[in-house]
Amino acid sequence: MLRASTGQHVTSVVGGETVRAFVPDPLPPRPALQPDDGLVHQLERANVALGRLDGVSAALPDTRLFLYSYVRKEAVLSSQIEGTQSSLSDLMLFELDEVPGVPFDDVVEVSNYVAAMEHGLARIRGGMPLSNRLIREMHERLLARGRGAGKAAGEFRRGQNWIGGSRPGDATFVPPPHTHVEECMSALEKFLHDDPVRTPALLKSALAHVQFETIHPFLDGNGRLGRLLITMLLCVEGVLREPLLYLSLYFKRNRAEYYERLGRVRADGDWEEWVRFFARGIEETANEAFAVAQRLRALAAADRARVQGSGRIAGSALRVHEALQARPLATIASAAKATGLSVPAATAAFAALRELGIVREVTGKKRGRVFAYGGYLEALQGEDG
């Protein structure tokens, strides 16, 4: 349904030139969404896929083992959209403090993303609502170090930003002037809390993502935080017990359509087609995440059975194998710390796992060696990791 523009343009002068900035109307859309049968069925399929994904978290022996790596995979993909080149392996090596030489700027940005995500989830589990205060706290961690550190971390912007182009005057899109940001974000916060109307979780996350990206409330980090808020909202609404779903890969694969759909909402009020695109992404991503969880669970179970038959060293090797499911790259020292084993016991366990072909040493050095749980890492990363 085309509603005409979903906001108003405000004229201001930035850097000596006249700029038309877009101020979005508060949510929910008016008139209300009018889904056809196809959209209703797409939303139903997305909700079914989310339910199946949520169910797998209960079936995993230890969800934390899966989450550690899966969250980091998302951080890498979301940051790659913004131009970083770090891989999942780079991030995990960076987190092993004793391993030097990992690319700094890119991997710090990815590490910040993990910190922002973990902070947000911890605060929500502690009873804090998903609010502008929490969004600012997460943004502060997102820009804590690296290239974005000087861009007002944790504060709504006090200047004009823009998307595309070299300046606001030739930009593809100009978000609201900074004088409108507080008002726009306050209205978005109310919508998140079902004011003025209760909105189903999946629909709420679809609408809120567009609104956040349209407001673009920070000088930097809006894309990463906007994608992260999708998952946060699904967790807050009780759709997911664990943060197992992220749309960064879907948006990356469908970048042109993503930006086209955002533009059509702003210019024409075409919310229905955006929701269709978003729900399709939820369905595809949830199904992929479910498949990854199943592959990793099957791989870990098969390898565990092999380790159990490895003789007297099996007990230590099993403990290291379990630790590697959380951190598929490890040193002897980090594995010893994670498992409580002595360094000689951890060394012997790695030797047994190498003999079984479960791990491989990736540095080629005699000291500071790093071991990879190769099959697990490859299954986790897939073709887009």
**CATH code for the domain of 352:** 1.10.10.10
Two structure tokens written together for 257: 């359509």
Residue 304 lies in a domain: no
| Cβ–Cβ < 8 Å for 227, 251 | yes
C-alpha torsion sign, points 92, 76, 154, 16: positive
User: Cα–Cα distance between 215 and 178 in angstroms, integer?
Assistant: 9
**Sheet containing strand 329-330, strands side by side:** 329-330, 371-372, 360-361
Cα–Cα distance measured from residue 300 to residue 323, given in angstroms and rounded to the nearest whole number: 11
In this prediction, residue 98 carries a pLDDT of 46
Single pTM value for the model: 0.89
pLDDT for position 382: 62
Taking only the tens place, the pLDDT of each residue in 32-52 is 999 999 999 999 999 999 999
User: Is 184 within 8 Å of 176 (Cβ atoms)?
Assistant: yes
Specify whether 319 is located in the same domain as 170: no
Residue 7: alpha-carbon gap to chain centroid: 28
By the 8 A CB rule, do 300 and 375 touch? no
Rounded to whole angstroms, the Cα distance separating 31 from 73 reads 39
Within a domain: 298: no
**CATH number of the domain encompassing residue 76:** 1.10.3290.10
Longest CA–CA span in the chain (Å) reads: 76
Condensed to tens digits (0 to 9), the pLDDT of residues 195-232 reads 999 999 999 999 999 999 999 999 999 999 999 999 99
Q: How far is CA 64 from CA 68, 70, 74, 324, 326, in A?
A: 6, 10, 15, 12, 7
Model confidence pLDDT, tens digit, residues 120-152: 989 999 999 999 999 999 999 999 877 667 789
d(CA 162, CA 15) in angstroms, rounded, equals: 13
Q: Is residue 302 included in any domain, yes or no?
A: no
Residue 373 contacts residue 322 (beta carbons within 8 Å): no
Count the domains in the chain. 2
Give the domain extent around 73: 7-291
Calculate helix-pair angle for 63-81, 104-125, nearest 10 degrees: 130
